[in-house]
Structure 1
Amino acid sequence: MGGATTALADRLREGCESVARGLSRADDRGGWAAVAADCQRLVDIAAAVQDRAVAEVARREVVETEDGTLSEVVHLPGVVTLDAADLLAPALGASHAQAQRRVDSAVRLAAQRRPHPAGRPGLPAGTGFAGLHAAMLDGRLDPRRADLVVEELAEAPGEVAEAVVAVLDPFLGRDDGPTLRRRCRRAIARISPDLLRERSRRARGECGLRRWAGEPGVDVWQGVFPSEQAARAWAAIDGLAHDHVAAGRCTTLEQARGQALTDLVVGNASVEVVVHVAVPDDGVGDAGDPRGAGADRADVLEADAEGADADGGDAERRDAKGWHPAPAARSASVDDARERLVQVHGLLPGEPALVDGRWLAERTPAEAPVVCDRTTGARVDVGATHATPAYRPSRALADLVRARDGRCRFPGCSVAARSCDLDHVRPWPGGPTSADNLLCLCRRHHRVKQRPGWSLRLLRGAVAVWRDPTGRERTTHPPDVLETVVLTTPADAPTWHPSAPVEPVGRFSVLESTVDVLSDRRPRPVVLDLRHGRCRHRRVSRRAAWSGANDPPPF
Structure 2
Amino acid sequence: MFDTECPAETAPVSRSVANAAAWPSPEDTFGAIVAAGRPGPSGWLALELDAATDDPALLDDRSLVDAVADLDRIASWAAARQARLLAEFARRRPADPRDSTTGPEAISRWAPDEIALALSISRSTAGARLAQARRLTETLTATLAAHEAGEIDGSKVRAICDATHPLFEDAAVRVQDRVLPAAARQSRAQLVAALRRAVIAIDPEGANERHARARRDRRVVVGAEDEGMASLWALLAAPDALAAHQWLTRLARGLGTDDPRGMDARRADLLVGLLTGRVAVAEPDLDVDPSAGADGDGPREGEVAPVPAGGAGPALRVAPVNPGKPLVHVVVPFSTLTGAEHQPCELAGYGPIPADLARRIAADAVWKRLVTDPLSGALLDHGRTTYRPPAALTDFVRARDVHCRSPLCRRRALDSELDHTVPFPHGPTAEHNLTHGCTLHHHEKHSPGWTVVQHPDGTLEWTTPTGHTYVSEPFDYRPEPDPPPRRPGRSRRVALDWASTAEHADDAPPF
**TM-score, normalisation: structure 2:** 0.42
- Which structure is higher in RCO with an 8 Å CA cutoff and minimum separation 6? 2
* Structure number with higher strand proportion: 1
